[in-house]
Homo-oligomer: A and B are copies of this chain.
């Protein structure tokens, strides 16, 4: 099956919103083993929309359209698709009643322009929308399929998950299963060299993706059942495990922060953080995860020197002799945070995030990260590239990875 994604909306053409739907749907289609050759965006203009739909169906037999299902005169996606399939629009009284009920629940007045949201092309399969007023629909005729979904991601994603996915899975017969290996501490280029023989394989396919200092390796196989796919995937994951070893911190849906929380939880350890240049990012990454309160005890954002002394007990002479960005200060911050918060392990970071503040001796990107436990304190020096946000993000991730290494 060959698919195209056709997003409808002048607000996308004006750059007012980002077309995240296209990425979501593209990923879903790839996982379903459905080929996608083009994505298109067109505005709320009936002539151009009609032409774009014609063009899409001249190249593909499945077109997924998003947006343009609202109550206004501009919203013409359903009507355009209906015209392409020569199907008249039919009002569904039961859906109209549901839309009216939705308005009552939301305590919003129902206006007549909303009636058109209950009209659908004759013979189409209706896709319920539990998060908004506009249901979607699937039309099928002469081996051509049009899937019509509303624009807001919080509406169309559940609709795709709940209804469209099963429909397309049945149509396509095969789907792509994959396993993701999360790696930290090996660069993408080096990893590519390490896995060169694997990336040449076509079943399963092996691909690497770099992001914020991490690399993901995805091993994928197209098959009719998950079991068949796993038989291809698992031996390759075993090889990656043998080669990347300790640099692997997790599999599939996970993050360094989640892995750290899990590892601390299973040891019954509590963590504190003392942050200078990251300024709360480490704490925030942990607190972002529900249930982190069991593990994350306290955070100190000691951005100013005075705060480093007062809050976590860094000695004035340490700051004077070695400076705020130094191994000594990082170590005293970690040890002080551990004692002050009375926890099992503490992590500290201090560095020059830029753009200002760099010197020849202590350039922008220089960061010290220390981890203190009851037994010992370890500290590492890093030189991170990039802008302020990139340096802070890399610092945060490396700090979490250093905690993980100490907990394990």
Contacts and interface: CB of A to CB of B under 8 A. Distances in A.
Interface string A8-47: 0000111111111011111111100000111111110100
Interface in A253-311: 273, 275, 277-284, 286-288, 290-293, 296-304, 306-307, 310-311
A301 B299 CA distance: 4
B26 A52 contact: no
Q: How many copies does the complex hold?
A: 2
Contact of A299 (B38, B48, B303): B303
A389 interface: yes
A356 B279 contact: no
A55 interface: yes
Nearest to A283: B280
B18 A18 contact: yes
A244 interface: no
A354 B280 CA distance: 20
A382 interface: no
A235 interface: no
A300 to B, nearest CB: 7
Contacts of A18: 18, 20, 23
A389 B284 CA distance: 10
A contact face: mostly helix, strand, loop, or mixed: mixed
B301 A283 contact: yes
A381 interface: no
Contacts of A39: 12-13, 19, 40-41
Nearest to A289: B388
A22 B310 CA distance: 48
B307 A297 contact: yes
A228 interface: no
Contacts of A224: none
B300 A296 contact: no
A168 B37 CA distance: 30
A172 to B, nearest CB: 16
A355 interface: yes
Nearest to A108: B189
8 contacts: A12-B23, A15-B23, A278-B284, A278-B287, A280-B299, A283-B303, A297-B304, A298-B304
Given A37-B42, A288-B389, 8 more contacts: A13-B37, A280-B280, A280-B282, A280-B287, A281-B287, A287-B303, A296-B301, A296-B303
Interface of A: 12-20, 22-30, 36-43, 45, 48, 52, 55, 209, 273, 275, 277-284, 286-288, 290-293, 296-304, 306-307, 310-311, 340-342, 353-356, 388-389, 392
